[in-house]
């Protein structure tokens, strides 16, 4: 498990600057005025800082940009990094600047002289998030070591625990998503979730016999070709009063070969991230527990593996969902919706949630539509959709509303069952959402988030190295903070 770097908040100690042996980051105002610690750095470096701040190079830098001065004269530091950032920089700029600091791989201590920066928590969150590295299987890799100390004008206003609660949730998601499928089996996934009980989350694992009894045939059908047993894990965080919980539901396909409708070999290895929805739900639950959220939230994940096998389901099979509706399985590669429909129905029957959001790496079509910038947002409720879009915007996580409509729903008509599991190529992400909507009660405010394009990336972002992003943990946590917490 990847832990966030250790983080200490300290008051400004001018005398500690000269002897600090790691990397020193100094935040400087865009107007080039020297703050008190900057004056100290300038004196130590015999005026080098002031020369730089007066240079064209500095004036050409954008807010959040960094320049690196190696082995600065007069300081014990390995490097002095000057970052241009106004003390009133908005959260998003501060967070991105933190990411820029965190991008440098280091294994030495880091001193961030943040001074009077207002959004210092965002700067530090960005830093901590960007330092993440998935090194579990690198035998020779030097592990990232060293602590971060932030010198700030008002240490009492900064809570490292609040920052770390967010980072640990995001890291939990990223580790799950990055983990290869021979290690993160359905059983291993459930075991890791059981670890959340140490934080006060009530965790239950429903096994195949339980799912059979509940009638979750569409979910079981997806997993029946795999040696790994299908499971549903229920995680309850009861931090609120007596009110019904908000439900989060995640697609947890630990590997998606496509099943008998086998995927092409090229790129199939990417399908190790097909449990991204379940990973995000898990990360949110961890953050809620760590920060002792005053809300009731239940997370449910459907864990299966989609494999071709003598026992696997076939194209043309007809299976009955827990709701009772029958589904003609035209394509065994459209398996996510078959998993989710049973878990969505179970979540509503058991918990009568005040609202419900499911997350899934559901369709390749959403990548064609929105690329890797935004997740698709499908909803039956404008108020909830707007609240989520606002939360996502606040946290800098891309999200874009997509339509639903009866015309799309018609494309799911089957002649042998109540519906088929695919609607053809046109509007593939929307027909997938329409399929899910059939399993959502009309009076339950609901959002489906198609995160196929954003859960894991081939190149780094401002706040994550390449691989799992942890998209959605911050936005969903924000939605709970702003709308469902006492
Ligand atoms: N897990 C995939 C969707 C996916 C694609 C996730 C690319 C991440 C990156 C999903 O189960 C799937 O195979 N969807 C099919 C649906 C089709 C058969 C209707 C697809 O998108 O091709
Ligand atoms: Mn598939
Ligand atoms: Zn899939």
The secondary element (H helix, E strand) that includes residue 46 is: none
Q: If 0-12 CB within 10 Å is exposed, 13-18 middle and 19+ buried, where does residue 109 land?
A: buried
* 237 part of a folded domain: yes
Q: What confidence tier does 466 reach under pLDDT thresholds 50, 70, 90?
A: very high
Ligand nearest to the CA of 423: 1
Of 134, 158, 182, the residue at which a domain comes to its end is 158
Q: What confidence tier does 140 reach under pLDDT thresholds 50, 70, 90?
A: confident
**Closest alpha carbon to 379 in 404, 352, 415, 361:** 404
Compute the average pLDDT of residues 184-207.
99
How many independent structural domains does the chain possess? 2
**Closest alpha carbon to 258 in 225, 209, 296:** 225
* 104 part of a folded domain: yes
Decide: 101 in ligand 1 pocket, CB within 6 A.
Answer: no
Which residues are in the CB-under-5-Å shell of ion ligand 3?
253, 256, 274, 336
Residues 390-406: b if buried by 16+ CB within 10 A, e if exposed = bbbebbbbbbebbebee
Same domain as 169, residue 154: no
Question: How confident is the model at residue 458, as a pLDDT?
Answer: 98
70 CA to centre of ligand 1 in angstroms: 47
Question: How confident is the model at residue 143, as a pLDDT?
Answer: 63
Compute the average pLDDT of residues 197-217.
98
Decide: 333 in ligand 1 pocket, CB within 6 A.
Answer: yes
Question: How confident is the model at residue 144, as a pLDDT?
Answer: 62
365 CA to centre of ligand 1 in angstroms: 8
**Closest alpha carbon to 471 in 400, 407, 417, 383:** 400
Q: What confidence tier does 200 reach under pLDDT thresholds 50, 70, 90?
A: very high
227 CA to centre of ligand 1 in angstroms: 22
Decide: 331 in ligand 1 pocket, CB within 6 A.
Answer: yes
Same domain as 385, residue 273: yes
Q: What confidence tier does 107 reach under pLDDT thresholds 50, 70, 90?
A: confident
Of 132, 158, 184, the residue at which a domain comes to its end is 158
Specify the CATH number for the domain of residue 367. Answer: 3.40.630.10
Q: In what order do the strands lie in the sheet with 355-360?
A: 202-206, 231-238, 296-306, 246-256, 355-360, 446-450, 375-379, 399-401
Q: Tell me the C-alpha distance between 221 and 243, whole Å.
A: 34
Residue nearest to atom 13 of ligand 1 (CA): 333
Same domain as 334, residue 306: yes
Same domain as 64, residue 46: yes
Decide: 256 in ligand 1 pocket, CB within 6 A.
Answer: yes
Of 136, 158, 180, the residue at which a domain comes to its end is 158
Same domain as 404, residue 371: yes
Same domain as 81, residue 45: yes
Same domain as 174, residue 152: no
pLDDT at 106 over 80: no
**Contact present, 318 and 417 (Cβ < 8 Å):** yes
Angle at 209 between CA 202 and CA 447, to 5 degrees: 55
pTM of the model as a whole: 0.98
Compute the average pLDDT of residues 175-186.
98
Angle at 102 between CA 459 and CA 464, to 5 degrees: 30
For residue 15, how far is the Cα from the chain centroid?
Answer: 40
* 2 part of a folded domain: no
Q: DSSP of 356-399, one letter per residue?
A: EEEEE---THHHHHHTTT-EEEEES-HHHHHHHHHHHHHHT--E
The sign of the dihedral angle between the CA atoms of 19, 21, 22, 23 is: positive
Decide: 336 in ligand 1 pocket, CB within 6 A.
Answer: yes
Specify the CATH number for the domain of residue 120. Answer: 3.40.220.10
Q: If 0-12 CB within 10 Å is exposed, 13-18 middle and 19+ buried, where does residue 67 land?
A: middle
**Contact present, 280 and 172 (Cβ < 8 Å):** no
The per-residue pLDDT for range 230-257, each reduced to its tens digit, is 999 999 999 999 999 999 999 999 999 9
* 21 part of a folded domain: yes
Same domain as 208, residue 171: yes
User: Residue 266 sits in which domain range?
Assistant: 165-483
Same domain as 171, residue 146: no
For residue 442, how far is the Cα from the chain centroid?
Answer: 28
Same domain as 170, residue 47: no
Q: What do you get for the CA distance between the two ends of the chain, in Å? A: 32
Same domain as 307, residue 203: yes
Q: How many CB atoms lie within 10 A of CB 272?
A: 21
Same domain as 317, residue 240: yes
């Amino acid at each position: 498990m990847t832990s966030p770097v250790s983080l200490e908040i300290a008051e400004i100690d001018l005398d500690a600057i000269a002897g600090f042996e790691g990397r020193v980051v100094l935040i400087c105002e865009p107007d080039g005025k020297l703050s008190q610690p900057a004056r100290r750095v300038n004196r130590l470096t015999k005026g080098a800082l002031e020369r730089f701040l007066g240079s064209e190079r500095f004036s050409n830098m954008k807010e959040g940009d960094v320049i690196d001065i190696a082995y600065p004269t007069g300081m014990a530091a390995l490097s002095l990094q000057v970052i241009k950032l106004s003390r009133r920089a908005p959260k998003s700029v501060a967070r991105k600047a933190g990411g820029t600091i965190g991008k440098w791989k280091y294994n030495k201590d880091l001193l961030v002289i943040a001074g009077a920066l207002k959004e210092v928590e965002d700067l530090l969150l960005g830093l901590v998030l960007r330092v993440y590295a998935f090194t579990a299987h690198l035998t020779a890799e030097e592990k990232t070591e060293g602590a971060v100390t932030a010198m700030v004008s008002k240490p009492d206003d900064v809570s490292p625990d609040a920052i770390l609660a967010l980072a640990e949730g995001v890291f939990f998601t990223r580790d799950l998503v990055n983990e290869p499928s021979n290690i993160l089996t359905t059983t291993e996934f459930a075991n890791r979730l059981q670890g959340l009980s140490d934080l006060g989350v009530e965790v239950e694992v429903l096994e195949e016999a339980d799912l059979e009894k509940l009638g979750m045939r569409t979910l079981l059908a997806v997993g029946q070709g795999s040696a790994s047993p299908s499971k549903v894990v229920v995680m309850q965080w009861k931090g609120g009063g007596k009110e019904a919980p908000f439900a989060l539901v995640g697609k947890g396909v630990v590997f998606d070969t496509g099943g008998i409708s086998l995927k092409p070999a090229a790129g199939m290895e990417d399908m190790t991230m097909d449990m991204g929805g379940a990973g995000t739900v898990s990360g949110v639950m961890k953050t809620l527990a760590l920060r002792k959220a005053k809300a009731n939230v239940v997370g449910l994940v459907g864990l299966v593996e989609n494999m071709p096998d003598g026992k696997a389901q076939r194209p043309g099979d007809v299976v009955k969902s827990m709701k009772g509706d029958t589904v003609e399985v035209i394509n065994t590669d459209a398996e996510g919706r078959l998993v989710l429909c049973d878990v969505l129905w179970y979540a509503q029957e058991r918990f009568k949630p005040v609202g419900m959001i499911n997350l899934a790496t559901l369709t390749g079509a959403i990548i064609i539509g929105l690329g890797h910038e935004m997740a698709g947002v499908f909803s039956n409720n404008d108020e909830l959709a707007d609240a989520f879009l606002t939360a996502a915007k606040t946290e800098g996580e891309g999200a874009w509303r997509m339509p639903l409509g009866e015309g799309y729903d018609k494309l799911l008509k089957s002649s042998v069952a109540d519906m088929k599991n695919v609607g053809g190529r046109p509007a593939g992400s929307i027909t997938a959402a329409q399929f899910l909507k059939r399993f959502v009660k009309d009076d339950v405010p609901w959002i489906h988030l198609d995160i196929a394009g954003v859960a894991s990336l081939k190149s780094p972002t401002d706040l994550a190295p390449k691989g799992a992003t942890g998209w959605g943990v911050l936005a969903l946590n924000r939605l709970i903070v702003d709308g469902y917490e006492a």
